[in-house]
Amino acid sequence: MRARQIRYYREYAISALPSDPATVPPSYRCFISMVARQRNVQPAGLCESAVLLGTPDHIIDVLKRVEDAGFAEVILRAS
């Protein structure tokens, strides 16, 4: 499943993100490193909270652990 998510980001999401340092406005420069990381990520390199896969109860448990770690916000994309 993680490999499928990685493939989605490589095939669809990356093309929607600005990645050319010559044309990216200063306020969007953070996307350059994000795109580079997405191009190189491997399934084994993703921790459990990077790609949430499983039952609703499992997802809730993972998000509770993220909250317990001190995060106040999480960005989720459902597919």
Output 52-56 pairs: Cβ under 8 A, ≥24 positions apart.
52/76, 53/1, 53/2
The range of the structural domain enclosing residue 10 comes to 1-46
Q: For residue 78, what pLDDT is reported?
A: 64
Q: Is the dihedral of CA 63, 69, 74, 79 positive or negative?
A: negative
Domain co-membership, 18 together with 38: yes
Domain co-membership, 2 together with 23: yes
Q: What is the pLDDT along the chain (79 residues), one digit of tens a residue?
A: 678 877 877 887 788 888 788 888 888 888 888 888 788 878 777 766 677 878 899 889 989 999 999 998 887 766 5
Domain co-membership, 21 together with 4: yes
